[in-house]
């Protein structure tokens, strides 16, 4: 069940056709539509000994740049990571 609420600046304006078009667009997703959807997920991945943030982010396939990763993990951008150090990253994954 869905509840649609609309707002229009013009009092008494005819919006039923736009609402009906919106309602008609609801459908079960096809396999192709599902495959096109990606979500960003927070993941925690262990670092390798001496790995730089740049190398780590490339290996992890993260969407973050090194500055964003450093801020989220309370690190300096030029730091060498320790073996097993847990690093938060954002990765795009299929829905």
Q: What DSSP string describes the chain?
A: --------SSTT---HHHHHHHHHT--PPPHHHHHT-EEEEEEEEEPPTT-BHHHHHHHHT-SS-HHHHHHHTT--TTPBPPTT-EEEEEEEEE-
Residue 60, domain member (yes or no): yes
**94: pLDDT strictly greater than 80:** yes
Residue 5, domain member (yes or no): no
pLDDT in tens, 24-57: 888 999 999 999 999 999 999 999 999 999 999 9
Residue 87, domain member (yes or no): yes
pTM: 0.67
Q: Count of domains in the chain?
A: 1
Domain that includes residue 46, residue range: 39-94
Residue 52, domain member (yes or no): yes
Residue 33, domain member (yes or no): no
């Amino acid at each position: 069940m869905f509840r649609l609420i609309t707002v229009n600046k013009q009092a008494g304006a005819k919006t039923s056709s736009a609402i009906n078009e919106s309602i008609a667009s609801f459908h079960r997703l096809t396999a192709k539509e599902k495959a096109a959807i990606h979500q960003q997920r927070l993941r925690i991945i262990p670092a390798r000994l001496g790995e730089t943030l740049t190398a780590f982010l490339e290996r992890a396939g993260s969407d973050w740049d090194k500055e964003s990763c450093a801020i989220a993990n309370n690190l300096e951008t030029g730091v060498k990571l320790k073996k097993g150090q847990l690093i938060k990253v954002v990765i795009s994954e299929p829905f």
